Amino acid sequence: MVVAKLVYEFSEGDRDQKDLLGGKGANLAEMTRLGLPVPPGFTITTEACRFFLERGHQPDQLRVQVTAALRHLEDRVGRRLGDSVDPLLVSVRSGAKYSMPGMMETVLNVGLNDRSVVGLVEESGDERFAWDSYRRLIQMFGKTVLGVEGEAFGAALDAAKERKGVRTDVELDAGDLKTLVEEFKSIVADHTGREFPQDPREQLDLATLSVFESWNTDRARLYRRRERIPHDLGTAVNVCTMVFGNLGSTSGTGVCFTRDPATGQPGVYGDYLVNAQGEDVVSGIRNTLSLDDFAEVDPASYRELRQIMRRLETHYRDLCDIEFTVERGKLWMLQTRVGKRTAAAAFRIATQLVDEQLITLDEALERVAGAQLAQLMFPQFDIGAERTLLTRGMAASPGAAVGKVVFDSATAVAWATRGEPVVLVRKETNPEDLEGMIAATGILTSRGGKTSHAAVVARGMGKTAVCGAESLEVDSVDRAARAGDVTVHEGDLLSIDGTTGEVFLGELPVVPSPVVLYLEEGLEKAVASLQEGGNEGTADVVRAVDRLLTHADRVRRLRVRANADNAADADRARRMGAEGIGLCRTEHMFLGERRTLIERVILADSSQERDTALQALVPAQTEDFVDLLTSMDGLPTTIRLLDPPLHEFLPDRSELMVKVAVAEERGQVDRDDVRLLAAVERLHESNPMLGLRGVRLGLTVPGLFALQVRAIAQAAARRVKAGGDPRPEIMVPLVGSVMELHLIRDEADAILAEVSAAEGVDLHIPLGTMIELPRAALTAFRIAEAAEFFSFGTNDLTQTTWGFSRDDVEAAFFAAYLDKGVFTVSPFESLDVDGVGRLLDIATREGRRTRPDLKTGVCGEHGGDPESIHFFHTTGLDYVSCSPFRVPIARLEAGRAVLGHPDTHTHTDDDIEKG
């Protein structure tokens, strides 16, 4: 019978076995393979952990294989685990494939007991060290393995220091620690009903079991959900010979990095403590020394460490994070891994390694991510400033914003017009708040989540937003908001942090993003400005961003467009690198003053009156499109015909009912209000998002889509006559049947031909559809007969596939779904590949079977989501479209997607012309 190998000595593995050995075990094995001074040991595999998690007991062969590995270790070092003479002691540490710092268990000094501590005293010649090591074992073992509350040990330790009249642990002598060991053993017995285990092998087995069990603690599961690490990976267990940095002045312990992980600055960085164990470095109980100080204290060990650091960075070809211990002048390497770093350091280090010829530009691009670029683009508060927290909500749209509180859109616009920064505070926002949202520096709502209207629009505009601050009571009538016993009035200053979800009273200083300056105004100007301010390090970061974005543009296949509804947004998108507009939402052109024109269309009593009202809209629409096509000259511009239900352009039903009822009671009836209420009642729907909207409007309100098609055609003709190169595309929303599209297409083709003849200009304006219904995706082979392009509206496609109402479900149960593992992330944030993604794939393949030159893209929120972009690349879409602010992120991720799938190819000039 073949028995699975569940235990690997460090000499048997390598860094490519992280799935089996975990990250820590694989890197210990790699350092051993390189011949570096690693304390010998062995790793129990993740397979053993998964077996335990699935069946509730360890594999029968595990104890046998651990025994064999332990005996081999004992023979190699010439000591026995827990022996009374020169005992072998080991550490037992977790080590999953992905780093989960502090989430799982570690037990040091395993093997110490009442007998072996005496042997350790004799061997080390340091009684205090031996009893301190035993004290640490009981405390750590009691807490992590036996479940004793850590406060019990902490209280006993504090009492010992108080008796002695000292402040720190290191001031306790051997006698004090010996007494403390007995107290700790009594605490274990009192809390668990059993004595502290004296059998070294029982200690090892229980510690191993506790590491396995720690995989499913609440904190570990929460961390994995947040970091989107699968729950079924399990952890390895590393059993390593103990080496001690607390054996006197010739011993110590430290942590170092081969470059600065905060800034990316070249050089060595780290901390060292003489006569200490690893936990002392991170606990902060003593001031650490720099590596320069270490060089003076122990020059020989320092020189060896520097050689190893250089060797590891060369071997891993990346920033390395290293833990080490010096035991009586002997250097030991305890761990290495590719180091975590800030977003700024990630870009800077990647390009440094290219210049040092350790990696290629392709590899450098793979080492940065869109999420890191986003961090560099958002403004931030000065972390050193004093602050007073008012409330917390969801971090809906990152950034830092300071402004005077206003409670409605009109006030936001008015105050912003006179130069006052404002924060728009609402219970929740709706489309009518758009002008105020544009005017505001930041948005704060007491309701809604990350996919609420406020959040989606704010992210699209690059506005800072905090949503769902439930402790905040917003009273728009009294113009005040209350959180606890604090009341904020209109005009008071607030500072909102869209990265953390925190809201502060008063004004915090904001640090602008130099990366946005570079994107808006160019590399040369941004670097010059930074150098003038003495910020050469930040200038290096900006140069690195430019270099890697430029390389991403060279290699990517996906084109990147922007969602933009006006010329100002289009201009900004183009500066950000957009290669066209993937979604222009024309409904935003009918807000504000033009709303009355739409009301006239809705309230028309005759077709003649309706046609007159529609004709009045054509000039304004034409001017909108002329401006848009001018900004996007030479680039594709996809214009979506009117999509929302008409009731969104009418007053609120409840408010209007109250107004009419009060007027009737006073005998002051306004006939226009009565007619308006009748229209609102007629158009009222229980579920308007699935009602009369999109293509259904175009088929049931004669002339509505025709006016928009005519305005697009006339705008294009004007641009051609002016020497421009307009490339409009007409997109019909919410199509579910090819017959719907045929009917709209027939009307559109006739109008285009008419305008073309009248203006003497040859117009070819592609007409396509937005795929946002499952039926449209499943019948794409039919719809492609009438559509020249598909644009996937993944926001609504997600709603209709899941049966979710985006405005309702997040607050209602998404938190529970995330907690229970139904989601690892909201399907509105990152594409549901298995469900919505499959529909997208089917529609793309079957649509191209009917029309091989069918152009396909995405214009939902997912178009700017890094993970979703990789799926869109592999599915073969032609482009993604996202908010102007996210265009650089999409450009970067589209390049990285190619490198993650080397069988794909970059665009040719013909592909670029295709759009």
Catalytic residues: 453, 859
Q: Is 49 helix (H, G, I), strand (E, B) or coil?
A: helix
Q: Is 338 helix (H, G, I), strand (E, B) or coil?
A: strand
Q: Torsion over CA of 805, 810, 815 and 821, rounded to 10 degrees?
A: 40
- 307 by Cβ neighbours in 10 Å (0-12 / 13-18 / 19+) ranks as exposed
Measured CA to CA, the distance from residue 447 to residue 468 in angstroms comes to 4
CA distances, 644 to each of 596, 598, 650, 733 (Å): 16, 12, 12, 10
Measured CA to CA, the distance from residue 88 to residue 91 in angstroms comes to 10
Asked if residue 90 lies in contact with residue 110, where contact means CB atoms within 8 angstroms, the answer is yes
Across 460-501, where does the E strand assignment appear?
464-467, 472-475, 480-483, 486-489, 493-497
Measured CA to CA, the distance from residue 593 to residue 134 in angstroms comes to 78
DSSP symbols for 89-155: -EEEEEEESS--TTTS-EEEEET--TTHHHHHHHHHS-HHHHHHHHHHHHHHHHHHTS---HHHHHH
Measured CA to CA, the distance from residue 258 to residue 255 in angstroms comes to 10
Could you tell me where the DSSP H helices lie in 320-367? 343-355, 361-366
Picking from 144, 147, 134, the residue whose alpha carbon sits closest to that of residue 183 is 134
Strands of 394-397's sheet in order across:
388-392, 502-505, 493-497, 400-406, 422-426, 442-445, 464-467, 394-397
Q: Torsion over CA of 714, 568, 347 and 579, rounded to 10 degrees?
A: 0
Identify residue 336 by its one-letter amino acid code.
Answer: T
Residue burial 711-741, b: 16+ Cβ < 10 Å; e: rest: bbbbbbbbbbeeebebbbbbbbbbbbebebb
Could you tell me where the DSSP H helices lie in 423-509? 434-439, 453-461
- 774 by Cβ neighbours in 10 Å (0-12 / 13-18 / 19+) ranks as middle
